Amino acid sequence: MPGSSPFHAIADPTRRRILDALLAGPLRAGELAQRFPRISRPAVSKHLRVLRSSHLVFTEQRGREVWYRIDPAPLAEVEKWVQQYRAFWEEKLQALKKAAEES
């Protein structure tokens, strides 16, 4: 539990939507949960725990409220990995272009 992979953290679509919501700015736990009417608050709370454990979000306690905000730093690892494949797919696009020009 202490420090799971960002690849695992972003695998779940609900967790990605949570991060997307936080992109606009910090939110309280409850407010965040309200944005997912189809699942319960504890379910969201668990997703937040996963995001915390992978350091994709961090919290600031203000009285009884807990504010969540993004820390996108761990996504750099994901980006780096995906970028390895960029050259590959750009090659393919090049090949397609060439083929189109030759037809």
Partner DNA sequence: TATATTAGTAACCAATAGGTTACATATCGG
Partner DNA sequence: CCGATATGTAACCTATTGGTTACTAATATA
Q: How far apart are CA 5 and CA 74, in angstroms?
A: 9
Task: Indicate the residue among 39 and 81 with the shorter CB distance to a second copy.
Answer: 81
- Interface pick for a second copy out of 46, 52, 67, 72 (rule CB under 8 A): 72
Regarding 97 and contact with a second copy (CB under 8 A), the answer is no
Q: Is 88 exposed, middle or buried (0-12, 13-18, 19+ CB in 10 A)?
A: exposed
The residues with which 69 forms a beta bridge, in sequence order, are 58
Binding site for a second copy (CB under 8 A): 5, 7-8, 10-11, 13, 16, 19-20, 23, 70, 72-73, 75-76, 78-79, 81-86, 88-89, 92
